[in-house]
Amino acid sequence: MNIVILAAGMGKRMFSDLPKALHPLAGKPLLGHVLDAARALAPERIIIVHGHGGEQVMARYPDPELIWVRQVLQRGTGHAVLQAAPYLKDTCPTLILCGDVPLIDSATLRRLAGAAGEHALAVLTTRLDDPTGYGRIVREAGCIVRIVEQKDASAAEAALDEINAGIFVAPTPALKTWLARLTDDNAQHEYYLTDIVVNAVRDGVPVVSAMPAATWETLGVNSKSQLAALERTCQRLRAEALMAAGVSLTDPARIDVRGVLRCGRDVSIDINCVFEGEVDIGDRVSIGAHCVLRNVRIAAGAVIQPFCHLDGAVVGAGAQIGPYARLRPGANLAQDVHIGNFVEVKNSDIGLASKASHLAYIGDASIGARVNVGAGTITCNYDGVNKHRTIIEDDVFIGSDTQLVAPVRVGKGATLGAGTTLTRDAPEGQLTVSRAKQVSIAGWKRPVRKS
């Protein structure tokens, strides 16, 4: 089929410079969700009608297979589809989607297309307790005869609760004919796409309908409030899917998945955790409260204590992280590594069973197995222009308050005394100390405040 996605709206009620189609829902632009549903149908072509902020929208989705059509003047949904008409293949039906209805399911779209068949016009409808703002479905003897917009509805029509979701499947040659007949003789002086229903009835074309499995599939976004409500709906659905797969959530209402989260068996996640990008969590992993994980892989049995930030990191099996730890991109931790409170790791490999338990910065380093990094240790990796690497071999003990000025190497089994500033390689198996001589001054008097 042809698929047309309407994404030209200005989104006045969003009060934002960002085009409405690019506002994020669960970490992905609204348009991205609609594109996912469209692509799942393997269409012949996808045409996106853009308008306000179109350059930004096209830049966000540079896929060469997408066909972009600009609606220069915002003259209604019918006018928008008319811009796409020259790109529609007559040999297959056309599905029309809304770029601001992000939770539509591809299974619902297949059902709608099935209802349309080859010759009917199919309309996706649903029933709302409060249909305010939506076009009403008007039926006679059970058959759809027209759709009336809110501003044009009579009192009797406004009382109807079956609404138009703005999604249609139509035979393409007939659709082009119906679009050409549209007029702007209505309260908003716009070319309504919904008027194709009247044209279909006049031509004797059956108008059929299908309903989604859930009402939330049809809900659109016209304001920040509606966007926030859909965000909670989306997160609730994701939480339910995680629990159905065996994940333990302390509170399903307090989790945010803004990407793809894959979990093994017996995973537990505490409250207020955020998952962004692609996150893979192995069996028996525990995630403490208030953690943020972005593009992370965590192996089986690891424990992430509360208030940790992990970004672009790999955590080995049985590792202990946090609380209040930060793993930045390129942090690669082996099995049984321990990273404690207020420790930051960036672009570093840390070997088997090594640990940095307190108040340390490890950047651009290669650390071997069974290394102890004392509190207050810093790898001084940046000279103001270039980054340099620190090499720490197996079984090294680094005392507290040590600075390793890269490039530098600490040999296997070496010990660095507390307070050392290491500027040259430390030989393996030896104690290296860099420390000023301690002096006590007899008779020294502490200054007193002058009155």
Strand 28-29 and strand 24-25: pairing?
antiparallel
What per-residue string of b and e applies to 331-368 under the rule 16 or more CB within 10 Å gives b? bbbbbbbbbbeebbbbbbbbbebbbbbebbbbbbbebb
Contact criterion met (CB below 8 Å) for 366 and 389: yes
Contact criterion met (CB below 8 Å) for 308 and 321: yes
Return the SS3 of 141.
coil
Instruction: Compute φ and ψ for 355, nearest 5 degrees.
Output: -150, 145
Cβ atoms < 10 Å from Cβ of 242: 21
Of residues 79, 119, 189, 358, which has the active-site annotation?
Answer: 358
Return the SS3 of 125.
strand
Which of 153, 109, 134 lies closest to 4, judged by CA?
109
Which of 369, 427, 375, 368 lies closest to 398, judged by CA?
375
Active site residue 358: yes
Q: How many CA atoms lie within 13 A of 362 on its CB side?
A: 36
Distance of CA 330 to the CA centre of its chain: 21
Which of 212, 253, 209, 211 lies closest to 231, judged by CA?
253
* Token pair of 265 as six digits: 């068996």
* Token pair of 323 as six digits: 């609380």
Amino acid at residue number 327: L
**What amino acid positions are annotated as catalytic residues?**
358
